[in-house]
């Protein structure tokens, strides 16, 4: 079996005095979508932020392509090929859509520097971004802002994308559009670590699943196995995926 793209081993994270992650063990296989599930406050967002170096590990190891990340600064982690779409979306409201994309594309200083073929692909996924290319991002709808947040993460090829609650508060049609976009990324062998409470979206995308509780991973397995086992869903999550089909 090949080594995982990303691995967390015994990761502990403190945010000030509070101890949030309590020895997280997590494996993210290359070329797959790994979904991180759990109740609110289980530690899912903290896990993503710890991988990105936004919060520091107090104990444990994080490796990406076999290289330690837990002592790296966030810019180094981003430069290694990891992109992050936070729950807050992380866009710059006062800048235009174009300016947001230029900031995300590390090698681009002008619109002409953007990869034309890749931008055409992104506009195919999210046509609204082309329509509102010169509009301030703050004037976009909630769904359009989420599209921009995802587009920023994929404007250049990345080996791994961390996505936190992309469907939160969005209309079903926008959610289906995001599912299509993430599926296309998966077809390109982009690895995705997805935190998602929308179980329809989680089931549609996930290959593997890890369930967190109280700062620990308490279950790992295939998404297909979890989706087929209502009793396991109830035990781990307190609800059934079938109710959210």
Q: What is the pLDDT of residue 167?
A: 85
Q: What is the pLDDT of residue 72?
A: 95
**Per-residue CA distances from 64 to 39, 52, 106, 191 (Å):** 27, 11, 20, 12
Q: What is the pLDDT of residue 171?
A: 81
Please give the model's pTM, rounded to 2 decimal places: 0.89
Task: Determine the distance from the C-alpha atom of residue 159 to the mean position of all C-alpha atoms in its chain, rounded to a whole number.
Answer: 12
Q: What is the pLDDT of residue 242?
A: 45
* 3-state SS, residue 5: coil
Residue 240 has pLDDT above 80, yes or no: no
Q: What are the backbone angles phi and psi of residue 12, rounded to the nearest 5°?
A: -115, 140
Percent of residues, the chain, with pLDDT higher than 70: 96
- What residues does 157 pair with on adjacent strands? none
Tokens 């002008």 — which residue? Answer: 110
Q: What is the pLDDT of residue 2?
A: 65
The CA-CA-CA angle for residues 214, 195, 9, to 5°, reads 55
Domains in the chain: boundaries: 91-157
| CA neighbor of 203 nearest in space, from 182, 173, 174 | 182
* 3-state SS, residue 146: helix
How is residue 2 annotated by DSSP?
P
């Amino acid at each position: 079996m090949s080594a995982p793209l990303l691995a967390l081993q015994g990761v502990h994270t403190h945010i000030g005095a509070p101890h949030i992650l309590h020895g997280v063990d997590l494996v993210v296989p290359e070329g797959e979508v790994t979904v991180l599930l759990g109740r609110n406050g289980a530690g899912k967002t903290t896990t993503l932020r710890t991988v990105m170096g936004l919060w520091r590990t107090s104990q444990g190891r994080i490796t990406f392509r076999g290289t330690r990340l837990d002592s790296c600064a966030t810019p180094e982690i981003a430069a290694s090929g990891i992109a992050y779409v936070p729950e807050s979306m992380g866009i710059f409201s006062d800048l235009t859509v174009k300016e947001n994309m230029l900031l995300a594309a590390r090698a681009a200083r002008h619109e002409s520097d953007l990869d034309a073929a890749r931008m055409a692909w992104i506009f195919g996924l999210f046509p609204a971004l082309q329509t509102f290319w010169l509009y301030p991002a703050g004037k976009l709808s909630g769904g359009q802002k989420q599209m921009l947040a995802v587009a920023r993460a994929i404007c250049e090829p990345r080996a791994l994308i961390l996505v936190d609650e992309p469907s939160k508060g969005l209309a079903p049609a926008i959610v289906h559009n995001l599912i299509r976009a993430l599926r296309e990324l998966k077809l390109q062998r982009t690895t995705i670590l997805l935190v998602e409470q929308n179980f329809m979206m989680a089931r549609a995308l996930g290959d593997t699943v890890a369930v967190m509780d109280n700062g620990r991973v308490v279950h790992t397995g295939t998404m297909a196995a979890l989706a087929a086992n209502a009793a396991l869903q109830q035990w781990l999550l307190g609800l059934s995926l079938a109710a959210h089909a």
